[in-house]
Amino acid sequence: MTFEEVKKKFFKYDGSLFAMAREEKEAYENYKMLNISEETVEKWRQELFLNLWEQLKENGSSDLFHRMYNLSEDKHTRENLLILREALHKVNYANPKVNVYISETVLGRKDLSERSGMIFWAYDLGEQEMAKELLQFVWELVTVQTSDEKIKSRLERNIKKCYLISSKINCSTFPI
């Protein structure tokens, strides 16, 4: 495989070498044989992130948002955080299920002590006001009504997490 073909596979699997190895062992082996530098990998991740951002602006897909977030999860930059914050406003919130998925991404899916999610990402980068803004945004997402009991339960859990995060980041004005 050529360098460009391997890059295509890298993009296909959103930069997940595990997924590439699982689904296309030969492509993974070719990737490894090329000894691609970490710098190149980071450039590819950023290029993919920006490509997904362009697509999201066109169609509002929450799946694209999640893919963007996952690409950034291990490397928190202010630039990507700003793009993701803007992307939140481009997502099509067609139903409460989308609200749940997006709110869980912004709040963090891991235990609170892990400080995952966009709110802690912003806070840890020194963007306390953005962290509070993200918390307010999530509050609006999780205070929707639904008759689906599973979704309602997740929304309630996310509301509790909002309050817990609010106390962690000293957001005394929450909720407005």
Q: Is the peptide bond before 175 cis (omega within 30 degrees of 0)?
A: yes
How high is the pLDDT of residue 67?
96
Q: How many CB atoms lie within 10 A of CB 71?
A: 20
On whether the CB atoms of residues 34 and 65 are closer than 8 A, the answer is no
- Could you list the mean pLDDT of each consecutive 10-residue stretch along the chain, which spans 176 residues? 92 94 94 94 96 98 96 91 98 96 95 92 95 95 94 95 91 62
| Dist CA 123 CA 104 (whole Å) | 17
Burial class (CB in 10 A: 0-12, 13-18, 19+), 69: buried
| Dist CA 163 CA 56 (whole Å) | 30
CA angle 164, 166, 170 (to 5 degrees): 125
List Cβ neighbours of 50 (8 Å cut-off, separation of 6 or more). 83
How high is the pLDDT of residue 173?
61
